[in-house]
Amino acid sequence: MAKKSSEKKVAPVQQENEKAAKLESFVADSTGELMTTNHGVKINDDQNSLKAGERGATLLEDFILREKITHFDHERIPERIVHARGSAAHGVFKVYEDMSELTRAAFLCDPGAETPVFVRFSTVAGSRGSTDLARDVRGFAVKFYTQEGNFDLVGNNMPVFFIQDAVKFPDLIHAVKPEPDNEMPQAASAHDTFWDFISQMPESAHMIMWAMSDRALPRSYRMMEGFGVHTFRFVNAKGVSSFVKFHWKPLLGVHAVAWDEAQNISGKDPDYHRRDLWDAIEAGAFPEWELGVQIVPEEDEFKFEFDLLDPTKLIPEELVPVQRIGKMTLNRNPDNFFAETEQVAFHVGHVVPGIDFTNDPLLQGRLFSYTDTQLIRLGGPNFHEIPINRPVVPVHNNQRDGHMRQTINRGKTSYGPNGIAANDPQQAKAADGGFVSYNERIDARKIRARSRSFFDHFSQARLFFNSQSDPEKNHIIDALSFELGKVKAVEIRERMLAVLAQIDKGLAGEIAFALGLHIPKIPLEELNNSIPADGDRADYASTNPEGSLAKSEALSMAGTIKDNIKTRKIAILAADGVDEKSLSKVKDTLVAEGAVVHIIAPKLGEITSKGDKKIVPDESFLTAASVLYDAVYVPGGGNSVATLEAEANAVHFLNEAFKHCKAIAADDEAIQVLESTYFFKKLPADYAKETVLREGIIVSADFNELASTFVEMIALHRFWERENPRKIPA
């Protein structure tokens, strides 16, 4: 008979809320404390090494020096192969209603439970030192510390992937990483090896449309979607399975920056996304996402024109709506970047009872890869004992020892079955929460092959492109033209044009014109070089059906949430003599709506309003740039207006804000500042108030009207329609 556990039993809700407290026990605050070695010996002198005389040789016995230097030498761990540059935060998740009809996962069945989470966002291709604003996929990984163990939802901000089988993942990453002969370019796909690979892998066509779209340039981590990418399973207590796709829907909407703007931000503030996330949480503007699921009953597995197990395909929301089942709120920044953000170990194989895998060949490979990666990156098999990775529930098994083991296991036995210790720890019955893999019937021969249902490589790429607004389509064309313009080998450009022609001939034609090339006529079966050595090209030829769905509104960012300006950063340009009322009314209105407002002046220090009030600017033109803000306002005041009109940096600030399609407002008294810009000359002669929400510019003497309209304009995010007809040299 098993002996009773002596461990304290904790109520589930209390248990869920204790992750922060458990981490707190590992936090070291040195305020007011005396310095010690790592083993607790108090240090009398940390400024001088032990020597044989004041000018003599350093002695080997200086254990304080050796410990300090040795630890310093080993402070860095190998960076992640992919997703090396990241930022993270703590938070909580709550399900809206009991989901037990679909899954037995306890954290999805108790609306009263609050599950701690740790979320890491990242770029993929760049190193730790690269920029946040690279054109790239963004990682979106969530660790749920549930009462049944950790569940890691390891996804991206795009719902599909480049390849269908994990065996091609090393090839993909080798191709997109800096080229091995010269280690260039960093955090960029615009080079020969990447497009050489992609042009011969037509299964990548759908993902390329996403990667070349505005989704690759998010305005903020807080304003991008997340996706589980793969099709998973929900399994309920009766053993009934449903297929499930996971979505994260940001409550601030899905927004992007312009490509030119992203390049400028990389120079002005390469930590732009990191800083944005950190500052928002520190200010109490907690980011929120709703967890959505698309559910497909087991019996409907083969009802679609695509294969549910194909990771290069999504389920259009018109076919299977997304049900929003819960909300995640990020409410606390890490205490230590290395100990938490760098040492957190996500694994797609960390699931809890009620969530299971499918036979997606990319997912199956990831189940192996993650553990293998953590073993080398975090030093051995005990990475689960690092505080940020520990579950909120006790861990009991017969695994022992290993590098950096922290658990002190009592007893003689570390095997099972055993009679010495009453067979403890014992296996858990399914009814007691034990994980049971879904009982899927498998009857097949061993074979290296790919299902014919995976061979449609273009219909969803076409669906994505056709679903974009005109500005979004133009951005895809510009991105592909830029990327392929960086490719040196003409044959790679031509082969890629042939691939793009399968998606949309107009798209391919625009890019061919930009590259000064013609679209080659390459048969479908000649596009794919990823075939077995003894394979027949005809057997592995791509297919290109039309697809029954012409458009999907959910695939465009044009219809995203545009009803608030919470956390948007607004610049107010001001100098000595600014009209305090003009400044304060607009600023107070913006702040009341949740915006972050910075006053930017020609220099730091105080400026004096025309009413002799001292105002302290937040930034000067020396460090501020329009690319770091969502909108700009110029208040009145004769002297301030005259100074700004003569200030080249102020005029450039406005020109650049216009170029990047941002909302611009000015007091009527400040019209001469706008008249000094390049873009004002480009506005229609009949410019009037009714054109405001098209052009994104308002000039008014009525503070109340100006402030309220400005808020409405900022909420629209960008005025992309003015991009082409109003191009300016800023």
Helical (H) or strand (E) element with 187: none
Q: Is 76 assigned a ligand-binding role in the annotation?
A: no
Q: In what order do the strands lie in the sheet with 619-620?
A: 619-620, 596-601, 569-573, 631-634, 663-667, 697-700
Q: Is 568 assigned a ligand-binding role in the annotation?
A: no
Q: Is 690 helix (H, G, I), strand (E, B) or coil?
A: helix
Measured N-to-C along each axis, helices 490-503 and 505-515 cross at an angle, to the nearest 10 degrees, of 160
Pairing of β 569-573 and β 631-634: parallel
What's the per-residue H, E or C state across 25-72? Answer: CCCCCCCCCCCECCCCCECCCCCCCCECCCCCCECCCCHHHHHHHHHH
Q: CA dihedral in degrees (568, 144, 377, 81; nearest 10)?
A: -50
Residues 6+ apart with CB under 8 A from 657: 571, 626, 629, 631, 632, 664
Q: How many CA atoms lie within 13 A of 454 on its CB side?
A: 21
* Calpha distance 693→719 (Å, rounded): 8
Q: How many CA atoms lie within 13 A of 387 on its CB side?
A: 19
Q: Is 366 assigned a ligand-binding role in the annotation?
A: yes
Residues 6+ apart with CB under 8 A from 723: 258, 471, 474, 661
Residue whose pair of structure tokens reads 């450009």 in the numeric block: 493
Query: Is 83 known to be catalytic?
Result: yes
Q: Are 386 and 377 in contact (CB under 8 A)?
A: no
Q: Which of 245, 369, 367, 260 is nearest to 310 (CA)?
A: 245
Helical (H) or strand (E) element with 617: none
Q: Are 573 and 607 in contact (CB under 8 A)?
A: no
Q: Given 90, 150, 156, 457, which residue is catalytic?
A: 156
Q: Is 248 helix (H, G, I), strand (E, B) or coil?
A: strand
* Calpha distance 383→342 (Å, rounded): 12
Q: Is 246 assigned a ligand-binding role in the annotation?
A: no
Q: Are 316 and 554 in contact (CB under 8 A)?
A: yes
Q: Given 83, 230, 273, 475, which residue is catalytic?
A: 83
Residues 6+ apart with CB under 8 A from 661: 258, 696, 718, 719, 720, 722, 723
* Calpha distance 269→289 (Å, rounded): 26
Q: Is 80 assigned a ligand-binding role in the annotation?
A: yes
List Cα–Cα distances, 678 to 539, 602, 625, 681, 693, in angstroms: 58, 20, 17, 6, 20
Q: Which of 545, 603, 608 is nearest to 579 (CA)?
A: 608
* Calpha distance 677→669 (Å, rounded): 15
Q: Is 694 assigned a ligand-binding role in the annotation?
A: no
Burial readout 364-399 (b: 16 or more C-beta within 10 A, e: otherwise):
bbbeebbeebbbebbbebbbbbbbbbbbbbeeeeee
Q: Which two tokens stand for residue 679?
A: 């873009």
Q: Is 7 helix (H, G, I), strand (E, B) or coil?
A: coil
DSSP, residue by residue, 644-657: HHH-HHHHHHHHHH
* Amino acid present at 188: A
> What distance lies between CA 43 and its chain's CA centroid?
44
Q: In degrees rounded to 5, what are phi and psi of residue 221?
A: -60, -30
Query: Is 230 known to be catalytic?
Result: no
Q: Is 479 helix (H, G, I), strand (E, B) or coil?
A: helix
Binding site, annotated residues: 80, 120, 169, 366, 370, 377
What is the set of active-site residues?
A: 83, 156
Binding site per annotation, positions for heme: 80, 120, 169, 366, 370, 377
